[in-house]
Amino acid sequence: MKLGPELVEEELREIFEALGCKAEIQKVKAVEVQSALKVARDGGSDAVIVGGGDGTVATAATIFAGHQKPLGILPFGTFNLAARDVGMPMDWQEAAKLLVSSPVGEIDLLEVNEKLYMCLVVLGFYPSQVMSQAEYHGSWIVKSIYTLWHSLKSAATFPPLHLRLKDGESVQTYRTRLVLLANNDYEDIFGIIPRRRSLDAGYFTVYVSKHQTRLGLLKSCVTWIMGRWKQDREISVMRATELDLDVKRKRRVSVMMDGELEKIDLPFTVKLRPKALRAIVPRLAAKIPLES
């Protein structure tokens, strides 16, 4: 976003007023986000729109879950996974216009340690790699290339996790360097950033990498971009609604949840909260199917 906050606020106000929508716009500091969202949730507005990255959206999802007031998303982050999933364009002016006219839908959320997330949970080398590097805020394309390059350099040497997944009475163990839990599932499409197949399917999908070499990881990256990564035999896939995760000989593990990085005590549980959030979902108006 090249404009300063004052110009963005002014332009947003003009967009909403031109569409006959009265909007109260607030700029808040990071430490004030939660309190501001709670006040907005309990106020008299018809909807609340949050502008920020995926971490900010996750905070809003936690606060708005189980409430009737819908949440809208303006893509002001880097990857903007949540905004992409609901069908928002990455041009924030166009996104603002869509927020006024798009339908409201009920979407699933992931719960980890009593906090809710819209998109995904990641364990393994990637969260540890990001924690050790300076944070980057800029073009998502540049960040994608940067991430891919450093992943190829560090993944094969990252100590593998001896992972234990418990789904009810079923227990599975893996030796892995990367685990991704996606809210619902991903489509087989060309591109760097995946697109969710569904927003309300009632399950999450676990992808466990069993790659042991840089060459294997490189091949997996290529199949990912080509939209054929589900054919990779070194990726195990399972679906669940609640899953206990543990790692042998570790008390804590680095985890990325919708762009937020944390060290989490082991074991921990990931749960699906079906249709927990009312959100403004432009992809519904575009008649993009929520489940194939």
Which CATH number belongs to the domain containing residue 126 in this structure?
2.60.200.40
In a shared domain, residues 102 and 127: no
What the block records as the tokens of 4 is 């300063």
Q: Which helix (H) or strand (E) holds 122?
A: strand 120-124
- Residue 230, number of CB atoms within 10 A of its CB: 14
In a shared domain, residues 146 and 207: yes
Domain assignment of residue 173, given as a range: 120-274
Dihedral angle over CA of 99, 143, 137, 94, nearest 10: -20
Which CATH number belongs to the domain containing residue 74 in this structure?
3.40.50.10330
In a shared domain, residues 68 and 177: no
What the block records as the tokens of 210 is 């069993």
DSSP for 28-55 reads: --GGGHHHHHHHHHTSS-S-EEEEE-HH
Task: Say whether pLDDT at 228 is over 70.
Answer: no
The rounded radius of gyration (Å) of the Cα atoms in the chain is: 19
**Does 205 reside within a domain?**
yes
At 231 the pLDDT is 72
| Mean predicted confidence (pLDDT) in 261-290 | 88
| Mean predicted confidence (pLDDT) in 32-48 | 95
List pLDDT tens digits, range 69-126. Answer: 999 999 998 889 999 999 999 999 999 999 999 999 999 999 998 899 999 999 988 6
**Does 75 reside within a domain?**
yes
In a shared domain, residues 131 and 251: yes
In a shared domain, residues 189 and 269: yes
Task: Say whether pLDDT at 160 is over 90.
Answer: no
In a shared domain, residues 88 and 137: no
Considering only residues 140 and 157, tell me which one the structure prediction assigns the higher pLDDT. Answer: 157
Considering only residues 135 and 69, tell me which one the structure prediction assigns the higher pLDDT. Answer: 69
Q: What's the length of the chain?
A: 292
List pLDDT tens digits, range 177-198. Answer: 889 999 998 887 655 677 788 9
**Does 61 reside within a domain?**
yes
Domain count for the chain, please give it: 2
In a shared domain, residues 228 and 133: yes
In a shared domain, residues 98 and 161: no
Task: Say whether pLDDT at 1 is over 60.
Answer: no
Q: How confident is the model at residue 229 (pLDDT cuts 50, 70, 90)?
A: low
Q: CA of 260: how far to CAs of 53, 135, 150, 171, in Å?
A: 10, 11, 19, 28
